[in-house]
Structure 1
Amino acid sequence: MPTPSSHGVHKRSLLRDDVYESIRDAIVEGTFEPGERLKDPELEKWLGVSRTPIREALLRLERAGLIIAQPGRATIVAPLDPASTASAREIVAAMHELAVRLAVPSLNCTNISGLAEANARFETALKDEDVNLALAADDEFHDVFVQTCGNEMIPSILEQALPLLRRVERQRFSSHAARHSVGVHAEIIRLSSLGDADGAALASRENWLSLGSKG
């Protein structure tokens, strides 16, 4: 299997989350393609860690639906599955809807400014066709609500469901269809600044449900 050119990119003190995120990102970005076999020795060489954190990361990735473990045979990158993606999209949309509804009453001027700044970076990244920066800015935008909502279960549920959508997000953010999200973000900001929690929550939900659409 092809792996990124750098070897031993992590120290032995690497947290298990970093191993998980490295493999997850390689799957999402397409370095590890659907159906490709993931081999422990090659992952160990690439990441510079022992087998234990790699196996822990693979278990998390299996729960997230990004890999398929075949006992006694192989561990492969899961193919893109429309049904699983649709299920994850519904969960993510519902969690973000709830986060916005809970967060809006607590938002302050700093939060609103943070939303606007993140959306501006998102728009610039899309214009520059920089998918990685667009994803980062989009995450920053939505994280304002997630971190302010006060419900600690929402981030953990999103961590479980969101990875399945990353491949769809990357496809969308590399197309002109993503420009629509800039306007939706602006509307979410407007409604949030007015204290309209329900309106902002519904706009956020529709924004996430639009992932995978061709419009």
Structure 2
Amino acid sequence: MDVLGTAVPAAIPLLAARSALRIWLRDGSRVLDYAAALFWSGVAIGLGLSEGPGWLLPAGCATAGATAAAHLLVLATAALKKPLVTVDPAEFRQRLLEACASPSGPESFLAGVGPDGTITVWGLEAAGVPRHRHRPGPGCATCYLEGIVGELADNGAETVAEYRALLRRRANQLFLLRRTTIGHRWTVRLRQVQGFKTPFEYSPCPEHRL
């Protein structure tokens, strides 16, 4: 009975660790592995906090942490697999502004600076701006994007100030730009990054260097 009582609790973190390991070793997101790893980790933590062996608590926390880290790695890898394209800063800026000025242009789009210091834009594919990692020359990509947002959006200046304050707290954000129904003016607000939230740390300008 003592052997069974020891073996059953020991199997719980092993099941969680097995699922977490499958996430690390396989490509892509595995929903069943995530669910199993989090479920067994939760069981281990719950038992460790109640009547189970005390070692179940740190074991469950460790497997839950490994699962979360694997998820972040999958998201970061997927983001960095986008092609890296060096663009002429003036030409790329003009392309963005012309796409937004066109009456048949997009109603909204997202833009942000990734942890590698490149700019990605979502929602302008039809206007000829693919979801690549764009590197606009050797200057600061964050300053560059802030300048475009400030020029395009009516509330760009205050949103850029809010963006900079969050960056100083190491909370990366995306710019969500929308065209108003009346007047077709552009406004902007911030949206949280889903997944890998670390901002670019090695900006060439002192304003954005972390």
The structure with the largest alpha-carbon Rg is 2
Q: TM above 0.5, one fold?
A: no
Q: TM-score range by the shorter chain?
A: under 0.3
Which one has a larger percent strand, Structure 1 or Structure 2? 2
Larger relative CO (CA 8 A, sep 6+): 1 or 2? 1
Which one has a larger percent helix, Structure 1 or Structure 2? 1
